[in-house]
Structure 1
Amino acid sequence: MPEPGHATTHRRRPRTMVRSATAVAVVIAVAAGGAYAAGLGPFDRGAADPDRGPDPAAMAQARAFLTDWAGGRLPSAAGRTTSPGPAQEVLRNFTAGLDISRPALTAAKAAAAEDGTVSVPFTAKMPVTGLGTWTYTSRLPLRKQDDGTWKVAWRLSLVHPHLSGTQKFRLEREETHGPEITDRAGAALSSDAHPSLGPVLSQVAGAGTGGPRGSIKLVDRATGQVKGTEATFGKKPGRPADRPVATTIDAAWQSAAEKALASEADGKDAALVALRIDNGEILAVANSPSSGFNRAVSGTYAPGSTWKIVTTSALLLKDAVKPGDTVDCPRYLTVGKRFQNVETSEYRGATFLKDFTKSCNTAFISLRDRLGDQESGDVARKYFGVGQDWHVGIPSYDGSVPTPRDQTEKAASMIGQGRVLANPLIMASVTATAVSGTFHQPAITRGDQDTTTTTPLPRKVVTQLRAMMRATVTDGTARILADLPGGIGAKTGTAEVSEEEPNNGWIVAHRGNVAVACVVEKGVTGGASAGPVVRSLLAAVPTDPS
Structure 2
Amino acid sequence: MGKRRRVAERRNTGPVVLGGMLAVVIGGAGFGVYALYGGGAAADDGTSAGSAHHKAVKTGPLSAAEVRTASTRFLTAWQQGRVTEAAGVTDDTSAAGTLLTGYTKDAHLKDVTLTPGKATGAKVPFSVKATVSYKGLSKPLAYDSSLTVVRRTSDGKPLVDWHASVVHPELKDGDTLVTGESGTPPVTALDRAGGQLTSARFPSLGTVLDGLREKYGKTAGGKAGIELRVVRGKASQAAKLSDKTLLELSKGTPGTVRTTLNPTLQAAAERQVAERKQASVVVLRPSTGEILAVANSGHGFNTAFQGSLAPGSTMKIVTSTMLFEKKLVTPDASHPCPKTYKLAGWTFHNDDDSEIKKGTFKQSFGASCNNAFIDFAPKLSDSDLTKEAQQVYGLGMDNWAVGVPSFDGSVPVQSGAQMGASLIGQGGVRMNPMNMASVAATVESGAFHQPYLVSPDVDHRTLAKAARTMSSATRSQLKDVMRFTADYGTASKAMAGMSGDYGAKTGSAEVDGQKKPNGWFTAYKGDLAAAGVVQAGGHGGDTAGPIVAALLKMGG
Query: Normalised by the size of structure 2, how large is the TM-score?
Result: 0.65
Query: Is the CA contact (8 Å cut-off) linking 1:271 and 1:287 kept in structure 2?
Result: yes
Distance between the aligned counterparts of 2:289 and 2:91, measured in 1?
Answer: 41
Corresponding residue number in structure 2 for 1:320: 328
Q: Which moved more, 1:518-527 or 1:173-182?
A: 173-182
Corresponding residue number in structure 2 for 1:433: 442
Query: Is the CA contact (8 Å cut-off) linking 2:520 and 2:544 kept in structure 1?
Result: yes
Corresponding residue number in structure 2 for 1:208: 216
1:93 pairs, out of 150, 156, 163, with: 163
Which consecutive residues of structure 1, in runs of 5 or more, have no partner in the other structure? 21-77, 101-127, 130-167, 219-228
Distance between the aligned counterparts of 1:356 and 1:98, measured in 2?
Answer: 48
Which consecutive residues of structure 2, in runs of 5 or more, have no partner in the other structure? 1-74, 76-85, 110-149, 220-228, 244-251
Equivalence map 1:97-496=2 (5 Å): 169-172=174-177, 175=182, 176-210=184-218, 214-216=231-233, 242-263=254-275, 265=276, 268-289=277-298, 291-335=299-343, 336-388=345-397, 389-404=399-414, 406-447=415-456, 448-480=461-493, 481-496=495-510
Which entry has the higher C-alpha Rg, 1 or 2?
2
Instruction: Give identity over the alignment, percent.
Output: 37
1:243 to partner: Cα distance? 2.4
1:473-518 deviation line (CA, Å, top 9, x unaligned): 1110001212222332100000011134421000001001011000
Cα 1:178–1:348 shift into 2, 3 Å: same
RMSD in angstroms over aligned alpha carbons?
3.5
Q: Which amino acid aligns with 2:537?
A: G
Distance between the aligned counterparts of 1:230 and 1:363, measured in 2?
Answer: 38
1:326 to partner: Cα distance? 1.7
Query: Is the CA contact (8 Å cut-off) linking 2:312 and 2:424 kept in structure 1?
Result: yes
Cα 1:421–1:288 shift into 2, 3 Å: same
Cα 1:464–1:95 shift into 2, 3 Å: farther
Corresponding residue number in structure 2 for 1:157: none
Cα 1:472–1:234 shift into 2, 3 Å: closer
Q: Which has the higher contact order (CA 8 A, sep 6+)?
A: 1
Equivalence map 1:32-71=2 (5 Å): none
Corresponding residue number in structure 1 for 2:72: none
Equivalence map 1:525-544=2 (5 Å): 525-539=539-553, 541=554, 543=555
Aligned length: 396
Distance between the aligned counterparts of 1:452 and 1:98, measured in 2?
Answer: 41
Cα 1:437–1:231 shift into 2, 3 Å: closer
Corresponding residue number in structure 1 for 2:48: none
Secondary structure of the residue that 1:444 maps to in structure 2? coil
Query: Is the CA contact (8 Å cut-off) linking 1:97 and 1:171 kept in structure 2?
Result: no
Corresponding residue number in structure 1 for 2:527: 513
Cα 1:534–1:89 shift into 2, 3 Å: farther
Secondary structure of the residue that 2:402 maps to in structure 1? coil
Cα 1:215–1:455 shift into 2, 3 Å: same
Query: Is the CA contact (8 Å cut-off) linking 1:428 and 1:517 kept in structure 2?
Result: yes
1:257-306 deviation line (CA, Å, top 9, x unaligned): 1111123x2xx2011000100010000000012x2100000000001000
Cα 1:233–1:532 shift into 2, 3 Å: closer
Cα 1:476–1:420 shift into 2, 3 Å: same
Distance between the aligned counterparts of 1:397 and 1:470, measured in 2?
Answer: 28
Secondary structure of the residue that 2:102 maps to in structure 1? coil
Query: Normalised by the size of structure 1, how large is the TM-score?
Result: 0.66
Cα 1:394–1:360 shift into 2, 3 Å: same
Distance between the aligned counterparts of 2:240 and 2:436, measured in 1?
Answer: 30
Cα 1:478–1:173 shift into 2, 3 Å: farther
Cα 1:170–1:276 shift into 2, 3 Å: closer
Distance between the aligned counterparts of 1:379 and 1:19, measured in 2?
Answer: 53
Q: Which amino acid aligns with 1:283?
A: L
Secondary structure of the residue that 1:526 maps to in structure 2? coil
Query: Is the CA contact (8 Å cut-off) linking 2:373 and 2:424 kept in structure 1?
Result: yes
Cα 1:523–1:333 shift into 2, 3 Å: same
Query: Is the CA contact (8 Å cut-off) linking 1:314 and 1:371 kept in structure 2?
Result: no
